[in-house]
Each structure stands twice: as structure tokens, then as C-alpha cells.
Amino acid sequence: MAVLTKAEAKRLSELDDFYMPLLDSLKKAGVLDDAGHRRYMLTGYYRLVEYLYTKKLISAKDAEAALAEGFTALVASLSS
């Protein structure tokens, strides 16, 4: 599901410190509220992937790829 634009996805995948910008983008896109933003900052990336999967924003296959290949795979699925 296209939660992020292609340009946004590209920008994120080029960052050194990508996690906070990723959470910010997801908040801006309305996927995360303040509480969610904070929750996944505290508990880590895999909890975020779990959440996106349970919200059906990514497929099981996407979630698997996101955990195997990292956030670049995640932003790719979120922008397609």
C-alpha cells in the first residue's frame, strides 16, 4: 500500500540515521499517532513491522522481507 511516496522512500533509504525519520514519515502519513511513534521508538524496529502487518499495511511476505533485509525493503513495500 502506498503509504509513502517514492521520493520519500528514496530519501529515507539514503539516511545514516533513518529510524526517527521513518517514524516521523509514518506519523505524517497518519499510520502512527503520537503514542505509536513513541511506542516503536522505545521497543524497536521489529515491533513496528509487527504493527504494520497487523494493520494490514504490509503483507506477510513484505513483513518477512522487512525483517530479513531491513528497513529499505520496508520502505519499498510501503511506497509501492
Partner 1 sequence: MYGWCGQRLRVDLSKGTIIKEPLSYEYRRKWIGGRGMNSEVIYREVPPNLDPFDPDARVCFGVGPISGTAAPASGRVTVSCKSPLTGGFGDSNMGGHWGAELKYAGYDQIIVQGRAPKPVYIWIDDDNVEIRDARHLWGKFPREADAMIKQELGDEDIHIVVIGPAGENLVRFASTFNDVYRAAGRTGHGAVIGSKNLKAIAVRGSGTVKIARPKEFFDVCNRLRQKFKTDPMRKFLYEIGSLSLINVANHDGWLSVNNFKQGAHPEAWRMSGEEHSKTVLKHREGCFACPICCGRFTEIKEGKYAGEYGGGPEYEHSVPTGPRVGVFDPNAIWHNMILTNNYGMDGIETGGVIATAMEWYEKGLITSKDTGGLELTWGNQEVVEKLITMIAMREGFGDVLADGASRAADRLGLGDEGHKYTIATRGMTLPGDDPRGLGFAYGVGFAIGTRGGCDHLRCLASLELSGFMYPGLNTKILGDERPVKPTTTVGKGYCCFYEENQKAMVDCLNVCCFTTHWSYAVLTADQVDYFNAVTGMDITEEEFMEIGERIVNLERAYWARLLSGKREDTIPERFQKEPMPKSVDGQTNVGYVFPVEKILPGYYKYRDYDPDTGFPSERRLKMLGLEDVAKDLAPLRAKYNSESEKKKKKYYY
Report the interface residues with partner 1, using CB under 8 A: 16-20, 22, 38-39, 41-48, 67-72, 74
Q: Report the alpha-carbon distance of residue 72 to residue 39 in Å, rounded.
A: 21
All three cell numbers of 46, joined, read 521489529
CB of 58 to partner 1, least distance (A): 14
Q: What is the DSSP letter of 58?
A: S
CB of 62 to partner 1, least distance (A): 14
Where in 19-65 does DSSP place strands (E)?
none
CA dihedral 28, 46, 14, 25 (to 10 degrees): 0
CB of 17 to partner 1, least distance (A): 4
For partner 1, give the closer residue by CB, 18 or 29: 18
For partner 1, give the closer residue by CB, 19 or 53: 19
